[in-house]
Amino acid sequence: MVSRVIPVDPFDLVIFGGTGDLAQRKILPALFRRFCAGQWPESARIIAAARSELSTDAFRKLVAESLRSYAPRRSGEVENLQGFLQRLDYVQLDALSTGGWDELAGKLTPDRVRAFYFSVGPSLFAPLAERIRAHALATKDTRIVVEKPFGHDLESARDLNATLAAHFYEGQIYRIDHYLGKETVQNLMAVRFGNMLFEPLWNSQYVDHIQITVAETVGVKGREDYYERAGAMRDMVQNHLMQLLCLIAMEPPAKFDPDAVRDEKLKVIRALDPVEPHHIVRGQFAAEADGSGYREVVGNPRSTTESYVALKAHISNWRWAGTPFYLRTGKQLVARSSVINVQFKDAPHSIFGEAAGRHANALSIRLQPNEGITLKVTIKEPGQGGMRLIDVPLDMSFAEALGPENQDPPDAYERLIMDVIRGNQTLFMRGDEVEAAWAWTDPIIAGWQARGDVPKPYDSGSTGPGDAELLMKRDGRHW
Ligand code: NAP
């Protein structure tokens, strides 16, 4: 089964911050792979912009080097490299001054899709929007792509939304959360709304609880300043985990269209109850492999920033009243794993008696690594006298099920950037969604500050603070 590549319309993509880490590690490799897949029209162009003095040739060399590291070659890609590099251009430009903007304007082609990717620090998002408008670079086919973090709290997110709205209409603003571009995350919707099997059971009558885990082995090196100001709540929960929660919990949209999907996600966020302080565990890793803990890494011996959060959330609506959602995420943990577990309730009555034990179905959706779905079902233990039951996994690894051509599905950025060019906002966050998410997380953070809360230490390479286990244990459950 080979996936079909649908070519996009001709485009000019301007990457502000084209020399930076994200552009070199994710955006340009993603564009290269779409180029190799034949999705680009002949005339499409990428123009990188940053303050560094670089010739276009020097920029192309930089990109060739990055692609060597971040886009390992597959067949056909070596021949494509020169073709890709020829489509790159570079403009020296400062987002905070007027120099370079006329040169950029001169490189843009009229009457085609024009996308401006803001791959720069968040303090430059508003100045860039203002300057694009001031230099008359925005056409009716213009889109802007805004990276995370989108604000630091509700107030700053509102300000940023208002600034962007002064220059662009909502249909032109693509707030990126790369989790939404992951194949398995989109598969959440396909599994829920493409099958008859799951949706009738997808409610508090049949689902005992839902767990969402995003565990990382990496620490915060290289992002110390940002992370110290953000912490796990702002860095991960407010965006990635809440987006996953929305896709798991939302009502079926009438169609797979941007506003229908985002309306349903917004309703979930607005139905979230405030979180009780004793339903949250904050942690901070105590020692990295080289012996230094979070506080040493960020150089703040009194830091109270959390590198781990676990919490229990409730959604007050007809579908989910009474079904808790447990969310957890952390850095420097024992394994890198993003997984959603839907734990169904026990069968109401066991005809096999006490000896058969208690069994319940569970659906695990693995986002990474080894994307796939496992359904835990109960069967008879073979060869035993009487009727003893055991649980076995019905396991579907997408890579195995879809065959060797699909071992390497498109990266999230590949999908999302092509959606920007196509003008499809379904997998991007709308302004009101982002604000609603901040409105839910702000009081949690304010509560920590008011109480002078100090995160619980946990060992690097562990599963997180012991209190996170207790959070579940108190409810008679476990992660
Ligand atoms: P970075 O490595 O520091 O790159 C910043 C880029 O912006 C550089 O190309 C820099 O080049 C350019 N720049 C800085 N000031 C500028 C100005 N005044 N005018 C024009 N260009 C300017 O940062 P990054 O890690 O790529 O992150 C970029 C954005 O993506 C941030 O908002 C970040 O939060 C977000 N993000 C990054 C990652 C990641 O993995 N890196 C992941 C998710 C989100 P010059 O210095 O030459 O101007």
Report the nearest atom of ligand 1 relative to the CA of 24.
Answer: 26
Distance 420 CA to ligand 1 centre (A): 20
Query: Where exactly are the structural domains of the chain?
Result: 11-147, 180-411+430-473
Question: For residue 74, what pLDDT is reported?
Answer: 61
3-state secondary structure the chain: CCCCCCCCCCEEEEEECCCCHHHHHHHHHHHHHHHHCCCCCCCCEEEEEECCCCCHHHHHHHHHHHHHHHCCCCCCHHHHHHHHHHCEEEEECCCCCCCCHHHHHHHCCCCCEEEEEECCCHHHHHHHHHHHHHCCCCCCCEEEEECCCCCCCHHHHHHHHHHHHHHCCHHHEEECCHHHHCHHHHHHHHHHHHCCCCHHHCCCCCEEEEEEEEECCCCCCCCHHHHHHHHHHHHHHHHHHHHHHHHHHCCCCCCCCHHHHHHHHHHHHHHECCCCHHHEEEEEECCCCCCCCHHHHHCCCCCCCCCEEEEEECECCCCCCCCCEEEEEECCECCCEEEEEEEEEECCCCCCCHHHCCCEEEEEEEEECCCEEEEEEEEECCCCCCCCEEEEEEEEEHHHHHCHHHCCCCCHHHHHHHHHHHCCCCCCECHHHHHHHHHHHHHHHHHHHHHCCCCEEECCCECCCHHHHHHHHCCCCCC
The architecture of the domain spanning 11-147 is 3-Layer(aba) Sandwich (3.40)
State the pLDDT at residue 128: 98
* For ligand 1, mutation pick of 59, 119, 234 (most atoms within 8 Å of CB): 119
Nearest atom, ligand 1, residue 26 CA: 40
Ligand 1 pocket, residues with Cβ under 6 angstroms: 16-23, 50-52, 93-96, 119-122, 124, 147-149
- Nearest CA residue ID for atom 32, ligand 1: 121
Residue 219: per-residue pLDDT: 94
Q: Ligand 1 atom 7: the closest Cα is on which residue? A: 17
The pLDDT value recorded for residue 111 is 92
Give the position, in ligand 1's atom list, of the atom nearest the Cα of 96: 18
Q: Which residue puts its alpha carbon closest to atom 44 of ligand 1?
A: 148
Q: Which residues are catalytic?
A: 240
Residue whose CB lies within 8 A of the most ligand 1 atoms, among 16, 51, 93, 152, for a mutation test: 51
88 CA distance to ligand 1 middle (Å) = 18
C-alpha of residue 145 to centroid of ligand 1, in Å: 13
pTM of the model: 0.94
Say how many Å lie between the CA of residue 93 and the centre of ligand 1: 13
Q: What is the CATH number of domain 180-411+430-473?
A: 3.30.360.10
Mutate which of 101, 118, 120 for ligand 1? The one with the most ligand atoms within 8 Å of its CB, which is 120
CA 44 from centroid of its chain's CA atoms: 27
Instruction: Write out pLDDT tens, residues 18-71.
Output: 999 999 999 999 999 999 999 999 899 999 999 999 999 999 999 999 998 887
Q: Say how many Å lie between the CA of residue 179 and the centre of ligand 1.
A: 19
Supply the pLDDT for residue 287: 75
Ligand 1 atom nearest 226 alpha carbon? 34
For residue 21, how far is its CA from the centre of ligand 1 (angstroms)?
Answer: 7
Pocket of ligand 1, candidates 14, 15, 22: which has the most ligand atoms within 8 Å of its Cβ, to mutate? 22
Q: What is the pLDDT of residue 139?
A: 95
How does pLDDT run along the chain (479 residues), one tens digit per residue?
A: 555 788 899 999 999 999 999 999 999 999 999 999 999 998 999 999 999 999 999 999 999 999 988 876 664 577 789 999 999 999 999 999 999 999 999 999 999 999 999 999 999 999 999 999 999 999 999 999 999 999 999 999 999 999 999 999 999 999 999 999 988 888 889 999 999 999 999 999 999 999 999 999 999 999 999 999 999 999 999 999 999 999 999 999 999 999 999 999 999 999 999 999 999 999 999 976 566 899 999 999 999 999 999 999 999 999 999 999 999 999 999 999 999 999 999 988 888 887 787 889 999 999 888 888 899 999 888 886 778 888 999 887 776 777 766 666 788 999 999 999 999 999 999 999 999 999 999 999 999 999 999 999 999 999 999 999 999 999 999 99
Given this model, what pLDDT does residue 205 score?
A: 97
User: How many angstroms separate the alpha carbon of residue 404 from the centre of ligand 1?
Assistant: 36
Position 372 scores a pLDDT of 85
Q: Which residue has the tokens 């990717």?
A: 117
Residue 289: predicted pLDDT: 59
pLDDT, tens digit, for every residue of 187-244?
889 999 999 999 999 999 999 999 999 999 999 999 999 999 999 999 999 999 999 9
pLDDT of the residue at 22: 97
